Amino acid sequence: MLKGKMQASVLLSAVVLVATLGAQPAHGQRWKLDDGKVVFERGKPEKPRTAPKSASNGHYGMFYSFLDPLLASRRFSWQQSEAICNFHGMTLASLQDDRKHFKVARLMGVLKVDGVWTSGARSQYDFYWGLGEPVSYSRFKGWSRTGAVGRGQPDNAGGDEHCLAVLNNAFGDGITWHDVACDRRMAFVCEPPPDD
């Protein structure tokens, strides 16, 4: 019981830190405080010392914020989600194959989760997964055929839609990929980094 409370306390502290810093994320690879000090840099995380409790729930070693008792009712920006994953030695999930996508989609459908962040992010004209692979190279592509303005995704309809999310029937389109503004709040999915 004490170990569980300690893990909960550490996670809650991380969430508070991330929420505090979340208002000042620099676009791109780093978070900086007003004085310029880098407090978070995107990159390959270290191996986790302790994984979140739901990371060991048997779903490909993934961590689902909407299954975690402390996070299930909370929603986060893309940057906050990535920081929480990195805090635990994980990365936001890259859904480059149908097996991973449909596992996430099935849970989202059953639990009625509106949307989750992935590691996908726009760099100039294309989307890339968190470890650098272009989304266009993925074996599976789950982009929706519609969106807010009736065009296929990604459409950058809001002008600042730089992050890739999986949305649950947002436009009558099933559980599909959409480009979304990175400050939108939603659940997220993390995965362990690839083995070295």
CATH number at residue 97: 3.10.100.10
Return the structure tokens found at 68. 């975690």
Query: Strand 187-191 relative to strand 115-123: parallel, antiparallel, unpaired?
Result: parallel
Q: What is the span of the domain harbouring residue 166? A: 2-191
Asked if the structure places residue 196 within a domain, the reply is: no
- Tell me: the pLDDT tens digits for 12-59? 434 434 443 443 333 344 444 344 543 344 554 444 445 555 554 446
- Residue 144's pLDDT is 94
Query: How many domains are there within the chain?
Result: 1
Residue bearing the bigger pLDDT, 117 or 48: 117
CA atoms within 13 A on the CB side of 142: 26
Asked if the structure places residue 102 within a domain, the reply is: yes
Asked if the structure places residue 27 within a domain, the reply is: yes
Q: Are 154 and 179 in contact (CB under 8 A)?
A: yes
Per-residue b/e over 64-84, b at no fewer than 16 CB within 10 Å?
bbbbbebbeeebbbbbbbbbb
Asked if the structure places residue 142 within a domain, the reply is: yes
Asked if the structure places residue 86 within a domain, the reply is: yes
Asked if the structure places residue 84 within a domain, the reply is: yes
- Tell me: the pLDDT tens digits for 142-155? 999 999 999 999 99
